[in-house]
Amino acid sequence: MSQLSPRKRYEQQERRRSLLIATASLLSVCAALYYFVPKAPGWDAVKRSFFNWPILEKTFPTLLKAFLWDIAIFAWSLPLIMVLALAIALCRNVRKPALFPLRVFGALYTDIFRGVPIILLVYLIGFGVPGLGLSRPWNSPYLWGTVTLVLTYSAYVAEVLRSGIESVHKSQRAASESLGLSEADTMRYVILPQAIRRQVPAMMNFVIALQKDVALLSFIGPVELLRQANVYKSLMANFTPYVGAAIIFLCVTIPATRYADYLLAKQRSVRT
């Protein structure tokens, strides 16, 4: 302690002081909420409808089981999204004049699938395509629901990848060309590794959003977490099952968000 310079000592004091103030402020806000919210005249009714412990206890195990569907749909959708997004991003980046139609296709694709509300696509593809006369199991809502998610999300992720590709400086292309690399090899070995690494934090946002949007598939039949909560809500005329669903979602999204923040911070510190 004694070897600290006066300045260091002062800084340490300041740090302690601000930590103390932050803690006190946080605690007093929590205490005020804890004290005043239950004083509201309707609190008992709200508590009964939203924070009903016996109902949560009764429904939580089934909700957790229904969440397995969300995980499964998420798990098989994510790799497909990444592959298709990469393909679309590459389409938008082709330089050969003869391949210009690919560029048009890429642009149209991202415009359409980012512009149309995802819920419309869920219905259109989830009911519409099987309605054309496909037989089981090829008309499964899981299959066509996944197709919808992949189509929509790959449009968003493709744009992220494209901006990553464009962020790689021109000189890199020129340099690899002068080394004799083909255009495909330049993309594969020089541009993409940098582009993807740079865009990982931005893509994490879509990964988190996808975790929640998986629940949209419940519109076309699958009884996943949100639908199961919805069933309990109607059955018991109580919103507590939704709180249960929120807790489950948060257990996954909060760590994922923090991880994305961590990646962003790491990237920033590398750049500066």
Partner 1 sequence: MKSRLLPLLISAVAAATLLATAPAFAANECSAGKTLNSDRLTVATGNPAYPPWVMNDAPESGEGFESAVAFAVAERMGFDKSSVDWVRTSFDEAIQPGEKNFDFNLQQYSIKPERLEVVDFSEVYYTTTMAVVVREGTAAADTAATASSLKKLKFGAAAGTSSQPFLEKVLQPEQATLLYDDNADVVAAITANQIDAIVFDLPSALFVSAVQLEGGKLIGQFPVENNEAPDNFGLLMAKGNPLKECVDEAIKSLHEDGTFKDLEATWLADATGAPVIDMDK
Q: Which of 74, 78, 130, 164 binds partner 1 (CB under 8 A)?
A: 130
Q: Which of 106, 201, 222, 244 binds partner 1 (CB under 8 A)?
A: 222
Distance between CA 83 and CA 89 in Å, rounded? Answer: 10
Cα 109 to chain centroid distance, Å, stands at 21
Q: Which of 38, 101, 131, 255 binds partner 1 (CB under 8 A)?
A: 131
Regarding 106 and contact with partner 1 (CB under 8 A), the answer is no
To partner 1, the closest distance from the beta carbon of 60 in angstroms equals: 16
Tokens standing for residue 164: 């990553």
Distance between CA 252 and CA 254 in Å, rounded? Answer: 6
To partner 1, the closest distance from the beta carbon of 146 in angstroms equals: 14
To partner 1, the closest distance from the beta carbon of 179 in angstroms equals: 55
Kindly state the number of chain residues that form the binding site for partner 1, as judged by CB under 8 A: 34
Regarding 136 and contact with partner 1 (CB under 8 A), the answer is yes
Q: Which residues contact 187 (CB under 8 A, 6 or more apart)?
A: 90, 93
Which 8-state DSSP code applies to residue 222? -
Residue 214 CB-density burial (10 A; 0-12 exposed, 13-18 middle, 19+ buried): buried
Burial string for 114-141 (b: 16+ CB within 10 Å, else e) reads eeeeeeebbeebbeebbeeeeeeeebbb
Q: Which residues contact 10 (CB under 8 A, 6 or more apart)?
A: none
To partner 1, the closest distance from the beta carbon of 272 in angstroms equals: 49
Q: Which is nearer to partner 1, 140 or 253 (CB)?
A: 140
To partner 1, the closest distance from the beta carbon of 107 in angstroms equals: 32
To partner 1, the closest distance from the beta carbon of 72 in angstroms equals: 13
Q: Which of 56, 116, 231, 264 binds partner 1 (CB under 8 A)?
A: 231
Distance between CA 50 and CA 45 in Å, rounded? Answer: 9
Regarding 49 and contact with partner 1 (CB under 8 A), the answer is yes
E strand or H helix at 176: helix 170-178
Site residues, partner 1 (CB under 8 A) = 42, 45-46, 48-50, 123, 127-128, 130-131, 133-136, 139-141, 218-223, 227, 230-231, 233-239
